[in-house]
Structure 1
Amino acid sequence: MRIPKRLLLAAAVTAIATRRQFKSRYDLTGKSVLITGGSRGLGLVLAAEFLKRGARVMLMARDAAELERAADQLAAGGRVHTVTGDVTREEDLHRALAEVQRVFGGLDVLVNNAGLIQGGPLDNMTEANFREIMEVNTFAPLRLTRLALPELRRSGGRVLLVSSVGGQVAIPHLAPYSVSKFALTGLGQALRAELAQDGVGVTTVCPTVMRTGSPRQATVKGQYRKEYGLFATVDNFPLISLDTEVAAKRMVDALVRGDAEAPIGGAALLLRHAQALAPQLTADLLALSTRLLPTATANDQGLPGREAESFLTRHNPIKSEAEEDFNQLGGGASERT
């Protein structure tokens, strides 16, 4: 008797779902975690979440002073260490992994969080902008993950890739960012498929905008103040953006469960389903929304967000609180979360 294909498919889906329900969760107690971009914003909050669950954390970032403030803020004694380095420099990646090995004796969880964001019209974006952001957002996680693989295979470890809703739906005026995050989401899928046989779990999270205080670290192009004002407002608007602690908890939950991919926040979930169910309508709506955004200028120079502040953005209490809480006010290395 021939079994219908649809019945076989339904049985396979049911088996996978059942297996997931009974699969043991990854215990973070005593595990060693390396977090890139860990000195501020989401990276800092992720560190706090891992510490709550009993892990030990190594923070990597480019600015030593910011790292010191972050470690003091986390106040977890010997469970927090720092290493200064740039994720685009392979020698710094080697050094960070060596430091994790020296301090913790091995690596269990790698969190690729460091990221770059640029906002502005496509006409003001150069090819160099695309190449720069790909180096930070895509190739750096690829390099670091590959370098860490021997240790992750030994420990049966986990990899967390912090992508974005912009890595599932292209967001107007964030073209280089979306391209890099689409590539990162694809990288996560490829790593997940190939590393499962080695006992290494890979989770890619795609959050909506979060109240991390990071707009001041972004680069804006075109009509600087308008672009920054829009970005900083959306990023700190409660009905649209997500509380950072809530986002971090959901991301670590996804890692612990062993999820392949997880949208974080209602807006991310809505856009993901809209893109899957009605791609043409979604594309048309995004194209229409672009007409409401600031137009391009003749100047292709970028400006750090903190230099494009206006009275309204400077005195936004939600934004100011996030900047203060998440170590965004230092004068060190900029433009990366």
Structure 2
Amino acid sequence: MRISKRLVLGAAVAAIAARRVFSSPYNLTGKSVLITGGSRGLGLALAAEFLKRGARVTLMARTGADLERAAQQLDAGDRVHTVIGDVTRQDNLERALEQVKHKSGGLDVLVNNAGLIQSGPLDNMTESDFRKIMEVNAFAPLILSRLALPELRRRSGRVLLVASVGGKVAVPHLAPYSVSKFAVTGLGQALRAEFAQHGVGVTTVCPTVMRTGSPRQAQVKGQYQKEYALFATVDNSPLISLDADVAARRMVDALIRGDAEAMIGGSAVILKYAQALAPQLTADLLALGTRFLPAATQSDQAIQGKAAETPLTRHNPIKREAERELNELDGNQDSPSP
């Protein structure tokens, strides 16, 4: 009993000490930040927010043209660097870290933002869909965070994991995405506990839907136009979605505070507590709501959201503005592809 009490007391003291380390506001001035998926959407909004706080940013994405436009849009001179790479390839991740150290002198903050999203009925999702999205959304942050740990430990750095409210409550017609984001929230808890001994703080953020212009890049299955119209409309609804810059500011605030986890957006908070306090009712309501969503089709083929545009989505002014502001239009064109 005495040993158990000592162990409990020791754990409590260690927890308090760790909290004190990470509760002091983290000064971003002059810090080096690597953002995966940084060329557009939320990643671009996060880059702008870090720059406002005095940091230097390196954007990682797969497409050079997107990165070039993003750097021009940020217009921050030598405080912005870019690196082309695929987060599912470890050699690309290693190269990105080496370039950050070479160009910025080291790495202080790692932002695991890159991600995929697939929309459609579960009946149209394949095992391959689940494996692919897990590679990008869950395994890539795990591998990159571990690769970056030696440098982050040397500089008492921070890790930001972008999960989702879909990592707290499984959203109908987003099954692979929700599974991957549940994995990310668990990963965030594990990394925070393990990295604390190295003086590295880990913050996981779970945002609600955001106006990032990203539905164009989503993979859509089932009744393409209906699925995309629903997804893009909800994503750009002022009643429940957040402006990308507001979401980015709140995420960076959570990182600076040293939060273990932060729900971003009122609807995200509501869903989290609904699931925690009334899991049966929440499950029943989600099951009921699924009955009103577009039915599955015979084909499991996926298309990109931008190929499922209709007049309803193409001329949505809120959506179009987000696409233009956050580099979601191919070639920075004035209107989405038909």
* Shorter-normalised TM range: over 0.9
Deviations 1:302-333 (A, max 9, x none): 0100000001100000000000000000269x
State the one-letter code of the partner of 1:318: I
**Counterpart-to-counterpart distance in 1, 2:166 and 2:115:** 13
Identity of aligned residues (%): 77
Partner residue, 2:83: 83
Q: Deviations along 1:41-76, whole A, 9 cap, x unmatched?
A: 000000000000000000000000110000000000
Q: Partners of 2:24 and 2:174 in 1: how far apart?
A: 39
Provide the aligned length of Structure 1 versus Structure 2. Answer: 322
SS in 1 for 2:210: coil
- Determine the structure 2 residue equivalent to 1:147: 147
> What SS does structure 1 have at the residue aligned with 2:232?
helix
Q: CA deviation at 1:87?
A: 0.4
Measure, in 1, the Cα distance between the counterparts of 2:139 and 2:200: 20
Change (3 A) 1:113 1:299: same
User: Equivalent residue for 1:165?
Assistant: 165
1:155-192 Cα deviation digits (max 9, x unpaired): 11000000000000000000000000000100000000
Q: Are 2:269 and 1:281 equivalent residues in the alignment?
A: no
Specify the alignment match of 2:196 in structure 1: 196
In 1, Cα distance between the equivalents of 2:279 and 2:312?
36
Match of 1:130 in 2: 130
Show CA shifts across 1:189-208 (max 9, x none): 00001111110000000000
Structure 2 gap ranges (5+): 1-7, 333-338
Q: Do residues 63 (structure 1) and 47 (structure 2) align?
A: no
Shift of 1:23: 3.5
CA–CA separation in structure 1 for the residues paired with 2:46 and 2:169: 24
How far is 1:21 from its partner? 11
SS of 2:185's partner is helix
Describe the superposition over 1:135-167 as per-residue Cα deviations: whole angstroms up to 9, x where unpaired.
Answer: 000000001001101001111100000000000
- Name the structure 2 match of 1:326: 326
What is aligned with 1:52? 52
Other structure's SS at 2:242 match: coil
Runs of 4+, deviation exceeding 4 Å: 19-22
Distance 1:162 1:68, change over 3 A: same
CA RMSD of aligned residues (A): 2.0
Give the match for residue 116 of structure 1. Answer: 116
Residue 218 in 1 paired to residue 223 in 2? no
Residue matched to 2:187: 187
Equivalent position of 1:262 in the other structure: 262
Q: Which residue of 2 aligns with 1:3?
A: none
Task: Evaluate the alpha carbon distance shift between residue 130 and residue 211 of structure 1 in structure 2; reply closer, same or farther with a 3 A threshold.
Answer: same
What CA distance in whole angstroms lies between the structure 2 residues aligned with 1:37 and 1:313?
A: 24
Residue type at the aligned position of 2:232 = A
Matching residue's letter, 1:284: D
* One-letter amino acid matched to 1:314: R
Letter in 1 for 2:177: Y
* Whole-Å separation in 2 of the counterparts to 1:231 and 1:313: 10
Q: Distance in 1 between matches of 2:228 and 2:192?
A: 36
Distance 1:24 1:182 in 2: 28
Q: Which ranges of structure 1 fall in alignment gaps of 5 or more residues?
A: 1-7, 333-337
Specify the code of the residue in structure 1 equivalent to 2:39. Answer: S
What is the alpha-carbon distance in structure 2 between the residues aligned to residue 242 and residue 284 of structure 1? 26
TM-score of the superposition, structure 2-length normalised?
Answer: 0.92
Distance of 1:198 and 1:274 partners within structure 2: 35
2:22 and 2:257 in contact (8 A); partners too? no
Structure 2 letter corresponding to 1:243? D
Q: Which residue of 2 aligns with 1:25?
A: 25
**Superposition pairs of residues 227-246 of structure 1, within 5 angstroms:** 227-246=227-246
Q: Which residue of 1 aligns with 2:4?
A: none
- Aligned mates of 1:295, 1:67 — CA distance in 2: 37
- The aligned residue for residue 299 of structure 1 is 299
